[in-house]
Structures are given as structure tokens and as C-alpha cells.
Amino acid sequence: MFCIRHAQPFAACWDDLYNPVVMNFGVVRLHSMQESARRYHLFDDKDKLALVADYASPWLPADEPRRIWFAGADGAVMATLDLPEGEGRARNGRIHTSYALILDHAVYAIFNKYETEHDDSAAPYFIIEVEGVTWLAWNYPEDGDLFTLYDQGRTSVSIPPEPDERTPIGIIQRAHHQHDFSISLSVEQLRFAPLLLLALIFLIDQG
């Protein structure tokens, strides 16, 4: 049974999770006077700044205009994500666009974004390949602005997930207080989970 519906999404669902350790994050999208610029701050569960994502700010390298930069709280660059020119490949009524998250000069994660070709109002979904596992990020329109994360490799989740498959590993919601997004994730073994989640927020929040 799918039971995520509240601000504390895992509170009533412990038996459904294969890992009871939950990480919580908040993300703020900063306001900018420049229309193209986008900046995000990710905070940990103690509301301490952990990561910054920066796109098209005037102090970034001018020769790399479509690159997102991820830095720690100290300002040191950790990773980058490039935005492709134009739309992705269209096939079977879907548009597929891939994004590579580069960490230490190597691909750390690949985000495969799928959109309905002839319905701009339909939310996209993402298949994420990271550290040898595959996640699905799926949107449920009846729940408003919300993405739910599934471990595809472990649970063999179909697309879209069937009701009896809805055992989530995480949730992303739009927040209404000090953060613009709230994230809960039950997977703790990833080395760079905050980086992965902030990159996903950037792609979800496009447009």
C-alpha cells in the first residue's frame, strides 16, 4: 500500500521500507535579478548549509554557459552537470534527454528524463543510474507537486508503478515554509546522496 501523504512521509510506513534510516533535506531556490540565473541551497536536517547549485551567475566561467556547478558550503566546486542544447530524442511518443553528473572527472550519475511528446502539461519522470543501482522518480498528479523515488533494481518497479509495487525509498515535495522543497530519503549507503538529490531538484524545477 502506498502511504506517503504527509509532511513526515515515512512516519506511518516503517514496515514498508527496507532501510529505516531516513535522511531529510530542505532546498531553497534563491531569487535572482537575472532571468537565466538559478541558484539553490541544500540544507541538512539540522538546517545547516551543505551544498550549493549555481547556473548562469555572472561570476561563473563565461565559456561554459550551460553548465551547472555544485559546490560545498565552503565554495569549493564538487561536481558539474551540463544542460544539452535543444530537445532530446523523440521515440514512441516520449522525449528522452540524458544528463551526466560529473564528479572527480568521471560520471557519477546519469539522469534519464522522459517527457510526453505531445502533452506539455504532463509531468516528466526520471530513471537515475548511480553507483551501480537504478532509481525511478515518478510524479503522482493527484498528490500535487510531488516526486516519489523507487529502487528499480531491488524491487523491479514497473513504469508507472503498480499499486502493489509502491514501496518508496524517498519523496520530494514542494515545501511551504522556509524551504521550497523538502526531501526524505531512506537510502544511506550512497556516498554523495545530497549531490544526487540537488541535481535532481534542479532538473525537476526546470521551467
Q: What structural domains and CATH numbers belong to the chain? A: 18-204 (3.20.90)
Task: Tell whether the model's pLDDT for residue 136 goes beyond 80.
Answer: yes
CA distance 50 to 108: 19
Task: Return the C-alpha cell found at 188.
Answer: 544511506
Task: Tell whether the model's pLDDT for residue 38 goes beyond 60.
Answer: yes
Which pTM was predicted?
Answer: 0.83
E-strand stretches of 38-192? 38-43, 49-55, 67-72, 77-82, 89-91, 94-103, 106-116, 125-130, 133-139, 146-151, 170-174, 181-185
Mean of pLDDT values over 174-184: 89
Q: What is the structure's pLDDT at 207?
A: 53
DSSP 132: T
Task: Tell whether the model's pLDDT for residue 205 goes beyond 80.
Answer: yes
**17 exposure class (CB count in 10 Å sphere: 0-12, 13-18, 19+):** middle
Q: How many CA atoms lie within 13 A of 13 on its CB side?
A: 25
Q: What is the structure's pLDDT at 144?
A: 58
